[in-house]
Amino acid sequence: MEVPARLRQARSALLLVFLVHGAVFALLVTRIPAIQDRYGVSDAVLPLFLAAVPLLAGVGSLTAVRVVRRVPAATVVRTVQPVLCLTLIGAGAGDALWHLALAMAVFGLLTGAMEATLNMSGVAIENRFGHSVMLRFHGSASLGGIIGAGLAWAGAHWDISLGVLYAVSVAVLLPVAVGVGPRLGRVAGQPSGPPPARQAKGRGAKGGGVPWKPLLPLCLIMSIAVIADSTATNWSAKFLEDTLHSSEAMATVPYALYMVATLAGRGFGDLWVRRWGAAAVIRTGALLAAAGFAVVALAPGPWVGVLGFGVLGAGLSVMIPQLFSLGARTLPGAQDTAIARVNLFNYVGFLLGPPLIGAVGAGISYRVAMAVPLVLVLTVLVAARRVGTGPDGRAAGAGADDDVRPAAPAATG
């Protein structure tokens, strides 16, 4: 069946929205040392700022559930993303510690709301296509992350002030975010599940609200995947330089290869999901990720370690995007709530991962530290047996038509 023009436009618009979000996030996190220097944040205080962001993001994610009961998710995306872009300027232009605290607090809250509603919008578009497209959206965010990291590198290389770097970056990204919003709302603004009144009737067999139990395997996998991801992004350079005795320049290569492998995996991942199913792809990704960690932990030299991080990126790339789709299919009567809850455990993983790996690495060795996420990732093989099952324990979304579904009438929001 021919894809409706409005559906193609909504998909293209959401790809750009994901790209902008990935770039904004990378511009902030890759310049944390410069932000620390600008505001005089001590090493003792910095972890408090970094922990506050995922905590507030979790609050923002759960708040988004209440908002989308009244406002389409795409409308929230269109409203939040420009403000999120502007928080970069706030972080780069302030000169007092409370300026930074305010900017980071707003950034955390809006990031949680943005990521929840982005994935709600992605699932809504995926529902209309009738087959997997979520990995492509997250691949666009990975590409945005590479672009944002490149801009941040340029700012550091040419000693551009944070205020100027962020102002120029926002001047480029903000028009994109504002311009694509109306095209996104034409289709993605449609509710991804039944209307609120119908959802309320379908919540839980005992009327106790939307059940958590069917989502627990997905939440567990999300936390593990993010712990593994944060291990690669936060500790790869230190592992290569301190444990494998690479040069400082060589220590930057694993992150770059990891991001490229992630982008490639998400570029092809939708085809794999359509052929073998989401649960099978998640299990295969977990095996690849475990193999990558094993190669890293046992690496005799830097280049083998770099290869291990590349394998790790390919494995993890296909796991996280599918968890949102599976969450929506697991609770078809409360899709938005399911997506926000799964997204919440994204931030749980961010809170647990870096300090866990750091503590094991400092207390024992970083080779042993790399074995921790290896073991955790292997537990995904057990948890994945229950993914994609509804509250009654039966497969959710089985037998879905692979053809493109007709688009609903255009949303006005």
Name all domains of the chain by residue range, CATH numbers in brackets.
1-192 (1.20.1250.20), 201-398 (1.20.1250.20)
Q: Cα 263 vs. chain centroid, distance in angstroms? A: 13
pLDDT digits (tens, 9 = 90+) for 227-276: 999 998 888 888 888 899 888 778 878 888 898 999 999 999 999 999 99
Alpha helices in 30-133 (DSSP H): 32-39, 46-67, 73-93, 97-129
Rounded Cα distance, 84 and 111, in Å: 7
Q: What are the distances in angstroms from CA 126 to CA 187, 302, 326, 374?
A: 11, 40, 12, 31
Q: Which residue has the tokens 């099952």?
A: 389
Q: How far apart are alpha carbons 333 and 349 in whole angstroms? A: 27
Q: Work out the angle between the directed axes of helices 162-185 and 5-29 (0-180°, nearest 10).
A: 160
Bigger pLDDT: 387 or 395?
Answer: 387
Q: Which tens digits make up the pLDDT trace of 99-151?
A: 999 999 999 999 999 999 999 999 999 988 888 999 999 999 999 989 988 89
Q: What is the pTM of this model?
A: 0.84
Give dist(CA 138, CA 141) in Å, integer: 5
pLDDT of residue 253: 83
Each residue's pLDDT tens digit, 270-301: 999 999 988 899 999 999 999 999 999 999 99
Task: Give the Cβ contact number of residue 97 at 10 Å.
Answer: 13
Residue 64: which pLDDT band, with cuts at 50, 70 and 90? Answer: very high
Q: Is the pLDDT reported for residue 393 higher than 70?
A: no
Residue 220 has pLDDT above 90, yes or no: yes
Look at the block and give the residue holding tokens 């497969």: 395
**Running DSSP on this structure, what letter comes out for residue 389?**
B
Answer with the residue of higher pLDDT: 394 or 355: 355
**Count of all residues that appear for the chain in the document:** 413
Instruction: Calculate what percentage of the chain has a pLDDT beyond 90.
Output: 58
